[in-house]
Amino acid sequence: MRLNVTAPAKINISLDITGIRSDGFHLLSTVMQSLSLSDRLALSVIEGSQSEIRLTCDNDQVPCDPSNTAYRAAALFLEKAQITAGVHIDICKRIPIAAGLAGGSADAAAVLFALNHLYPGKLKMQELMELAIHIGADVPFCLSGGTVLCEGIGEKLKPLSSFADIPILLIHPGFPVSTGWVFNAYDQMPSLSRIDTSQVIKAMKEQELDKLSLATGNVLEAVTFSEYPQLQDMKSLLEQTGAPVVMMSGSGPALFAIYSSSEARETAKKAIEKKLPASARLIMTETRDAGPVIIK
């Protein structure tokens, strides 16, 4: 048996931190949004291999061992479902690594999704979600997909009105940022401004980008920018294109701009592509309504 699935990236259209649990995990209030930008995963069942997991990837920066989130997702699923067959996972990597776009989480969610289709009825959705949160905070959202308010440590999901087919221009600056470092640094900084998430949700429901710009924000942006000031320069370039909303996604370093039309996005891309450092990558994508899907 073989199955091909997508693993969509995400952006945080807002990101607020509301507290810290006793175990050190940060409590979030964040509106996450799936993108058409996605990795592609091919999963093949290996009969009689005693739960062996083989992982391959076309990007040599991706570890193909038990530290990989896709590998962990497969191991947890096979154990929970009591399946003795093995699985080969091949990842075609298109989402930039360590960029705040949930590339690793998306791959893990896609593995859970695919194995649940290869072995229907073995696990209930609630069991899949429990495995997802065990792997990482963004994995439950990536399994669900669409437009979602995520709270707690990422396990509390509230689907929101569709925000699909909105043109997005991403900048990946060409270097990774450690999520752990950003959250630790945030804890050392003085109290920052909070986000009115209810107003963010209202503006998105009405698709009023100017109102969204006034309401939204990412409390981690100041932390990452303080260490990587070149990100502020890139954000300014996006702002100069007239994009109503320009933000950093997650803990960074990826930046995104939301446009009212694909024509405006194309014009913006042409205006800034020669002004960026050679290491930076521009990606045109769109918002979408779904998480992983089966492809031919």
pLDDT one-digit tens code per residue, 194-232:
899 999 999 999 999 999 999 999 999 999 999 999 999
Q: In the numeric block, which tokens belong to residue 99?
A: 């960029």
Q: Calculate mean pLDDT across residues 139-160.
A: 96
- Residue 69 CA, chain-centre distance (Å), reads 13
Q: In the numeric block, which tokens belong to residue 277?
A: 């450092």
Using CA atoms, how far apart are residues 219 and 197, in angstroms rounded to an integer? 12
Is the domain of 67 the same as that of 194?
no
Last residue of a domain, one of 108, 139, 161: 161
Is the domain of 139 the same as that of 12?
yes
- The rounded percent of the chain whose pLDDT value lies above 70 is 99
Q: In the numeric block, which tokens belong to residue 3?
A: 């199955």
Q: Is the pLDDT of residue 191 over 70?
A: no
Last residue of a domain, one of 142, 161, 180: 161
Choose the weakest-confidence range: 125-134, 164-173, 192-201. Answer: 192-201
Q: Calculate mean pLDDT across residues 37-47.
A: 95
pLDDT at res. 236 = 98
Q: Is the pLDDT of residue 42 over 90?
A: yes
Residue 277 domain flag: yes
Using CA atoms, how far apart are residues 250 and 117, in angstroms rounded to an integer? 30
Q: Calculate mean pLDDT across residues 232-256.
A: 97
Last residue of a domain, one of 143, 161, 179: 161
Residue 293 domain flag: no
Q: Which structural domain, as residue segments, surrounds residue 117?
A: 2-161
Residue 295 domain flag: no
- Average per-residue pLDDT in the chain? 95
Using CA atoms, how far apart are residues 112 and 132, in angstroms rounded to an integer? 8
Q: In the numeric block, which tokens belong to residue 260?
A: 């009212």
pLDDT at res. 222 = 94
Using CA atoms, how far apart are residues 38 and 9, in angstroms rounded to an integer? 5
Is the domain of 157 the same as that of 175?
no
Q: Calculate mean pLDDT across residues 221-244.
A: 97
pLDDT at res. 275 = 96
| Count of the separate structural domains present in the chain | 2
Spatial contact of 3 and 42, defined as CB atoms under 8 Å apart: yes
Using CA atoms, how far apart are residues 138 and 102, in angstroms rounded to an integer? 7
Residue 196 domain flag: yes
Of these residues, 16, 39, 90, 138, which one is catalytic? 138
Cis peptide before 253, with omega less than 30 degrees from 0?
Answer: yes
Is the domain of 31 the same as that of 147?
yes
Residue 18 domain flag: yes
Is the domain of 70 the same as that of 116?
yes
Is the domain of 157 the same as that of 10?
yes
67-124 pLDDT per residue, tens = 999 999 999 999 999 998 999 999 999 999 999 999 999 999 999 999 999 999 999 9
At residue 143's C-alpha, the angle toward residues 107 and 261, to 5°, is 90
Is the domain of 6 the same as that of 151?
yes
pLDDT at res. 22 = 86
Q: Is the pLDDT of residue 136 over 90?
A: yes
Is the domain of 156 the same as that of 171?
no
- The model's confidence at residue 47, banded by pLDDT at 50, 70 and 90, is confident
pLDDT at res. 193 = 75
Of these residues, 10, 16, 39, 235, which one is catalytic? 10
Is the domain of 171 the same as that of 134?
no
- The model's confidence at residue 49, banded by pLDDT at 50, 70 and 90, is confident
Spatial contact of 222 and 228, defined as CB atoms under 8 Å apart: no
Is the domain of 52 the same as that of 82?
yes
- Residue 184 CA, chain-centre distance (Å), reads 20
Which pTM was predicted?
0.95
Alpha-carbon torsion angle 182, 183, 189, 190, nearest 10 = 140
Q: Which CATH number covers residue 206?
A: 3.30.70.890
Using CA atoms, how far apart are residues 8 and 150, in angstroms rounded to an integer? 17
Q: How many CA atoms lie within 13 A of 219 on its CB side?
A: 24
3-state secondary structure (DSSP) of residue 7 = strand
Q: Which residues, other chains included, contact 189 with Cβ-Cβ below 8 Å and sequence gap of 6+? A: 222, 223
Residue 292 domain flag: no
Is the domain of 171 the same as that of 211?
yes
Residue 246 domain flag: yes
Using CA atoms, how far apart are residues 105 and 7, in angstroms rounded to an integer? 9
Is the domain of 95 the same as that of 12?
yes
* 10 a catalytic residue: yes
- The rounded percent of the chain whose pLDDT value lies above 90 is 91
Residue 291 domain flag: no
18-28 pLDDT per residue, tens = 988 888 889 99
* 138 a catalytic residue: yes
Alpha-carbon torsion angle 124, 129, 135, 141, nearest 10 = 140
Pairing of strands 2-20, 294-295: antiparallel
Taking alpha carbons only, the member of 289, 226, 273 closest to residue 253 is 226
Using CA atoms, how far apart are residues 215 and 132, in angstroms rounded to an integer? 30
Q: Which CATH number covers residue 137?
A: 3.30.230.10
Q: How many residues are recorded in the chain? A: 296
